Amino acid sequence: MEIQESINKGIQLAFQNIFNHDLPLEQISLAPTRKEFEGTYTFVVFPYLKVSKATPEATANLIGEYLKENVAEVAGFNVVKGFLNLELNNMIWVDVFQKLLANENVGQLPANGQKVMVEYSSPNTNKPLHLGHLRNNFLGFSVANILEANGYEVIKANLVNDRGIHICKSMVAYQHFGKGETPESSGLKGDHLAGKYYVIFDQKYKEQIADLKEQGQSEDDAKKNAPLFLEAQDMLRKWEANDEEVVSLWKLMNTWVYAGFEKTYERMGVSFDKYYYESDTYLLGKDIVTEGLAKGVFFKKDNGSVWVDLTEEGLDEKLVLRADGTSVYITQDMGTADLKYDDFGISKSVYVVGNEQDYHFDVLFKIMRKLGRPYGDGLSHLSYGMVDLPTGKMKSREGTVVDADDLMQEMVDTAAAHTKELGKIDGFNEAQATELYETLGMGALKYFLLKVDPKKRMLFNPQESIEFQGNTGPFIQYSHARIASILRKADQIGVDYKQTDFSTISKIEESESSLIYLLNDFEKKITQAGTDYSPAILAQYLFDLAKEYNRFYADLPIFLENDPIILAFRVALSAHTAKTLNKGMLLLGIAVPERM
């Protein structure tokens, strides 16, 4: 029985025996004891004073005495007002640790038979990925990993926005100004080449607007009548009519872009199991509108447009089909939701999209539930905040948006400079050093973007993220490398920590029991991170674990220990900490080095 379960059962019996009251186990909860007090778990008695008919202190003391006498895990207690702090029998942690060592699948919960799709990235094929996409991709990939560790079968999906007026703008500019340029001839990645012409379109379009305004047109009229804009609109109509020349250019430029994206994704360390393309899905959903009308979920206005009334759900009326029979975004999103379910039979679907789309997804999910979709209750929007940079820290190719490729390269360059400065690459050859810089730079970037609650807007500070002290990726990576070095030394001197029986140990130190307590919490944190779709929970746990290990290492120099069983125990503790850090960081999509 888990320690907490045993204590909860003891508390339940205490209420029966002392207060003659049946307290359901689900109403009993233990919190970690605050650092400034003695104890491991705290039980708050304030909610039960009507039952005990006593003061908070008296209630806590009565329960504490009962637990000390009747629950083997409880060695003592202290009371601070209505807070019962429970001090545990030190030696139970050796048993807990041996069970952890025996679990070959630590950090992987049993399969639960459910399928979940996590959709993230969703790039536009008219420009390269930017800083916001980095947070999106790292969040999506990490949440997918965490859900897999929670026992789900996970499908990682990418819905590519590969059609529409914004794509046609790049194509029109390329037709006018491209002169046959290719990624090979320009030396640019394909996504950067397409982005270059999207910027050129915007520049030339603004010039045309200025010319038309000089000729007396209003700003609104000039925007609508600018020749380049009219050409882009005409190109979109031709694309929808399957014009051979337009479709051929669209395919060519998208091919370039996809090749560029793949290089970016590879460096990011993210991947996908399924790609959906808006060019395939933009006509979906019209049959759902017909179905919704038949079911009375939708209604038709006099002009022929179709709407859904969500006023009872706290929203308003929402258009789902225009009067001319053309779809809006929500129409195709309804169709795509059905397509995903038809393809994979998913019970949950997580959309990783910025918080500017909160309303849109609220509407979509309410519609699918009203339509009675079997997956309706499993729809979730992982809504995340924007990422800001300290002014002037990063230069951007387009002047306004920070390019993902530029930022990743700058992070690796910063990691290289910082690591050389600290002298942490002694004995590395050039290839090993290059690999370490990549590991540290990308680890710093990912960890900094993931350690913040996804819902919060955040400030990314590149210099702060690369530090080897504090709540950073490199601090955790360095802690892992330090343990790897300890394990190499243990192997060299023949410490057989894998086969030693630790049940004969009669006393362990406080820093050892604190470390085991944290190690034992790993799977609970994975569960919590999966329930909340928050890698930040796991990131904070890994930082706390690395910090606790460093305290243990400072308190108890391992190789000065003379007792061979205690020595083996401390090496085994180190090895399991390294295993947990490695597994946890991999769930965040971050590699940890063996040497630094």
Calpha distance 444→422 (Å, rounded)? 16
- Single out the residue of 419, 393, 415, 395 nearest to residue 406, CA to CA: 395
Measured between alpha carbons, how far is 37 from 470 in angstroms, rounded to an integer? 24
Residue 357's contacts (CB-CB under 8 Å, 6 or more residues apart) are 381, 383
Q: For residue 596, is it within any domain?
A: no
- Spatial CA neighbour of 452 closest among 148, 134, 196, 222: 134
Quick check: helix, strand or coil at residue 191? helix
Reduce the DSSP state of residue 579 to 3 states and report it. Answer: helix
Q: How many domains are contained in the chain?
A: 3
Distance CA 596, CA 583 (A): 19
Q: Which of 88, 106, 140 is the last residue of a domain?
A: 88
**Helices assigned H by DSSP within 83-218:** 92-102, 131-149, 165-177, 183-186, 190-214
Three-state SS letters, 3-65:
HHHHHHHHHHHHHHHHHCCCCCHHHCCCEECCCCCCCCEEEECHHHHHHHCCCHHHHHHHHHH
Q: Is there a domain that residue 457 lies in?
A: yes
Residue 199 CA neighbour count, 13 Å, CB half? 14
Q: Is 486 in contact with 571 (CB distance < 8 Å)?
A: yes
CA distances from 476 to 5, 415, 540, 578 (A): 31, 15, 11, 10
CA distance 264 to 15: 59
Residues 178, 253 within the same domain: yes
Position 400 scores a pLDDT of 61
CB 528: neighbour CB atoms within 10 A?
16
Residue 420 structure tokens: 């050389």
Residue 32's CATH number? 3.30.1360.70
| pLDDT of the residue at 423 | 80
Q: Which amino acid is at 498?
A: K
pLDDT for residue 535: 98
Same domain, 415 and 466: yes
Residues 346/375, Cβ–Cβ less than 8 Å: yes
Tell me which residue has tokens 């008695």. 45
High-pLDDT (> 90) share of the chain, %: 87
pLDDT tens sequence across 541-581: 999 999 999 999 999 999 999 999 999 999 999 999 999 99
**The predicted structure's pLDDT at residue 396:** 44
Whole-angstrom Cα distance, residue 570 to residue 566? 6
Residue 110 belongs to some domain of the structure: no
If asked whether residues 225 and 198 sit together in one domain, one would say yes
Residues 26 and 156 in one domain: no
Question: Are residues 383 and 413 both part of a single domain?
Answer: no
Q: Is 35 domain-assigned?
A: yes
What DSSP assignment string belongs to 552-563?
HHHHS-GGG---
CA angle 15, 18, 23 (to 5 degrees): 15
Structure confidence at residue 425 (pLDDT): 78
pLDDT of amino acid 426 = 77
Let me know whether 162 and 257 are in one domain. Answer: yes
Structural contact between residues 297 and 313, judged by C-beta atoms closer than 8 angstroms: no
Same domain, 354 and 453: no
Report yes or no on 304 lying in a domain: no
Q: Both 353 and 501 in a single domain? A: no
Which letter does DSSP use for residue 110 in this model?
P
Give me the residues of the chain with pLDDT under 70, please.
1, 391-400
Q: Verify that 362 and 447 share a domain, yes or no.
A: no
Does 16 reside within a domain? yes
pTM of the model: 0.91
Beta carbons within 10 angstroms of residue 440's beta carbon? 28
Q: End of a domain among 36, 53, 88? A: 88
Cα–Cα dist 417/440, whole Å: 11
Let me know if residue 328 belongs to a domain. Answer: no
Domain shared by 135 and 190, yes or no: yes
Alpha-carbon span 368 to 330, nearest angstrom: 11
CB-side neighbour CA atoms (13 Å) of 63: 36
Asked if residue 176 and residue 77 are part of one domain, the reply reads no
pLDDT at 391: 67
**397 to each of 67, 140, 149, 180, 516, how far by Cα in Å?**
65, 26, 38, 22, 49
pLDDT digits (tens, 9 = 90+) for 258-312: 999 999 999 999 999 999 999 999 999 999 999 999 999 999 999 999 999 999 9
Spatial neighbors of 365 by CB under 8 A, at least 6 apart, are: 376, 379, 381
Structural element, H or E, at residue 351: strand 348-354
Check: CB of residue 140 under 8 Å from CB of residue 352.
yes
CA atoms within 13 A on the CB side of 519: 30
Domain of residue 471, residue span: 404-588
| 128 contacts 195 by C-beta, under 8 angstroms | yes
Any idea what the CATH number is for the domain that residue 535 is in? 1.10.730.10
Question: What sign has the CA pseudo-torsion 398, 402, 404, 405?
Answer: positive
Q: What is the CATH number of the domain that holds 233?
A: 3.40.50.620
Same domain flag for 371 and 411: no
In a domain, 252, yes or no: yes
Cβ–Cβ < 8 Å for 11, 23: yes
pLDDT tens per residue across span 389-412: 876 544 444 456 789 999 999 999
